[in-house]
Amino acid sequence: MILVNSWLTDLVQNIELNNVEFEYDHTFTYSTQCDDRSDWTFSYLKRISRNVIPISYCPIEVELTISGIEYSLREIDKYEVPRGKILIDATTLALPELLQIFHILKLKKQNFDVIYVQPTDYTENDDKGLDKIKSYDLSDDGLGIQQVPPYVGFSDNSMLFFFLGFEGHRFGALINSDEFDTSNVTCLIGSPPFKLGWENKTLSNNYKQLLEISANSNTRYKFAGANDPIKTYDHIDKVYQAADYEKRTLCLAPFGTKPAAIAAAQFAVNNSNVTMLYDYVKKKSKRSSGKDLVHRWSFSYVEQN
């Protein structure tokens, strides 16, 4: 299994790019940049890592493209992880890529680090419609909610763990699909959030959905720091144990912050009977602004007992 054994945090403004030295041999990242953070991250990665490897996951072809070479999921183990120290850029990579690359690195028993840069703000929707409640303009339509192979399993008897984010409609899509047992859902709220008060934005943007599921269900809420994959992992584990006791599978829907998605991906590769949901929304350019804290988590491979 892969475990976090250290966590470093610094402010972006404290990092002088010209003084950064090579610490890594290879960094996995997404090929396009879409906001302030990713622009900075890309410059940073070029200085901290000797080699940058672009990866992307295509949900239709179900294949992972690494350095321009396509690998179907069933032959993903054929990918030879280059020798040297590995870094994964979670700022630009989305959940499916993180999940697949974690999967490969665990398979190859490889230690690695993960980097993530927090934004200072997210872009609000400037549609001057009739509604006065602010909503967030972070993504365009995706493919709809799907299970991410190979984390596929029956959903009729699964226990749903949903990570709340700023886009309540993504939770709404899951409820409206009528495919999931929302009468027994656990919700993760990122608290403390990246910035004081942002937990209110999470709640107000999911208010309608929470009201709906609370009307006739036993909704449970868990709280973990929005940038804390370790605490998030603990919560997932508790829900997993409860699901396992009831002979149910765990269904993770990490639609919240990236650090929480990192925990979800880590948990999925470490355990069996976990299904993973994602809606493949298209990230909008300039979806966030500014760059705040930089986190680096070190993951190491440990043989499971």
**Residues interacting with another protein, by CB under 8 A?**
60-63, 72-74, 126-132, 139-147, 149-156, 169-173, 175-180, 183, 208, 215-216, 247, 249, 272-273, 275, 277, 279
- Give the nearest distance from C-beta 178 to another protein in angstroms: 8
Closest among 141, 90, 71, 108 to 254, alpha carbons compared: 90
Q: Shortest distance, CB of residue 4 to another protein, whole angstroms?
A: 22
Nearer to another protein, 39 or 70 (CB): 70
Q: Which residues, including other chains, have CB under 8 Å from residue 48's CB and lie 6 or more apart?
A: 20, 21, 22, 23, 24, 27, 87
CA distances from 14 to 17, 116, 126 (A): 9, 15, 33
Q: Please, which residue, 10 or 61, has the CB nearer to another protein?
A: 61
Is the Cα dihedral 49, 52, 57, 63 positive or negative?
negative
Q: Could you tell me the smallest distance in angstroms from the CB atom of residue 65 to another protein?
A: 14
Alpha-carbon distance of 197 to 195, in angstroms, equals 6
Helix axes 258-270, 229-245, angle to 10 degrees: 40
Tell me if 219 sits within 8 A of 213, measured CB to CB: yes
Q: Which is nearer to another protein, 6 or 241 (CB)?
A: 241
> Nearest distance from residue 74's CB to another protein, in Å?
6
Min dist CB 112 to another protein, Å, is 21
Which one, 1 or 73, has the nearer CB to another protein? 73
| Segment (H or E) for 175 | helix 168-176
Kindly tell me which of 6 and 285 has the beta carbon lying closer to another protein: 285
